[in-house]
Structure 1
């Protein structure tokens, strides 16, 4: 097979790898990435054009990085196929920040998150949602979309919407789209990550007590906030099919 032939074959296989990657079929994606990388390396050896050879090397590095992410994700998916973790949070307990609950579930395959919570209305509830968004933007390097499904504040929907729009505009600066969907029939409190994780929290994101003061520990770092009593159930979608 000529250099051109290897290049064409690599493009075909790697295109399939990206498709499987997007479909969260990590094991299949890994196999295609590995095959495509081998073809790309062979094509690089056979071309004479140094600029093209440099391009092949750069693309190879990119796909190697993605293949490594697929390897980790596939291993985690196999290990956690029957996972159900339940966290009981007692009234007054501390140490249950969003980082503690959600960060272990965030990886390089996470590109979207859906928050279904009827009570993202009042000032502190919207701040809670903002804290959650900040964590995702900070830790989920491939994040592209956050969907919020909530109810309208019957007392002051205009202020609620204005504040959520402000978060929406801020996220856009980080190349993340926030879609806001209002419904009067939402009852469940559930967060879904497109890497397969489903998190159900009895109180939704609003499980923290008010901080003692603006200059008290816990005002900005929720690790120090006292909690209301609630239960967190964490599933992987492979365990609930």
Structure 2
């Protein structure tokens, strides 16, 4: 009974750590819990219990192997720097196509630094809000892949004159909408922000020359690319992707 309680407690802890994206610790708890279950399996003659233990061992071993592969890939990826040159009018570079490789289940927190998450022209019109729409689309992608993101930090510059209120109301609407999905949006403004950068708490850093606004305006509201960013022509820009672990070595 004591061994059974110890195994259950260890595996409960593994699942909790797994859900919190604390994968190295979760892997150790899974391994210890599995060892305890194997010991229980050897010591029982009850066929029903044996079947139960075998199924549990198989399930936890599968999850432990998934985590082991994920951690190995993260370690390998951390050695590399990838650069993508997006040509003028190129298509196929929507946010999901660009970021999905790096949006693993380890990503729970995201930082976006972009000075132009606002509208462009004065006087403001509905069609001027493409930067805000781009940020909204980026947020939509984050909560879909793979659904573990809990906090998004936005650092941008404050718009001027009439655009200031419209920028604030647009971002507040996005914040409230994200809140309904259990995601917190923290917004800060800086008058001196210049660099554009996106960071994931898994260690990945993405620098895009034009920030999130590297798409050209669609030719019309009913033209291809208006909704699907993979079909939207892009401005020429460069994307640099690297891991924080890599920056410590150079």
Equivalence map 1:114-129=2 (5 Å) = 114-122=111-119, 123-129=129-135
Residue in 2 aligned with 1:137? Answer: 143
Q: How does 1:89-108 map to 2 (within 5 A)?
A: 89-108=86-105
Extract unaligned runs of 5+ from structure 2.
Answer: 45-51, 120-128
Determine whether 1:178 maps to 2:185. Answer: yes
- Preserved CA contact (<8 Å) 1:90 1:227: yes
Q: Hey, what's the Cα distance between the residues in 1 that align with 2:57 and 2:190?
A: 46
Contact 2:88 2:234 in 1 (8 A): yes
User: Which residue number corresponds to residue 109 of structure 2?
Assistant: 112
1:179 Cα shift? Answer: 1.1
How do 1:1-241 residues align onto structure 2 when only pairs under 5 Å count? 3-8=1-6, 11=9, 15=13, 26-27=23-24, 29-39=26-36, 67-122=64-119, 123-155=129-161, 156-241=163-248
Taking structure 1 as the reference length, the TM-score comes to 0.82
How many corresponding residue pairs?
Answer: 232
Contact (CA 8 Å) 2:10, 2:29: kept in 1 or not?
no
Deviations 1:19-50 (A, max 9, x none): 698585x445423322134436767998xxxx
Counterpart contact for 2:14–2:27, Cα < 8 Å: no
Name the larger-Rg structure: 2
Q: Separation in 1 of the partners of 2:39 and 2:192?
A: 57
Taking the aligned partners of 1:163 and 1:57, their CA distance within structure 2 comes to: 54
Q: Unaligned 5+ residue runs, structure 1?
A: 47-53
Q: Is the Cα contact below 8 Å between 1:7 and 1:40 reproduced in 2?
A: no
What TM-score do the two structures reach when normalised by structure 2? 0.79
Shift of 1:107: 1.2
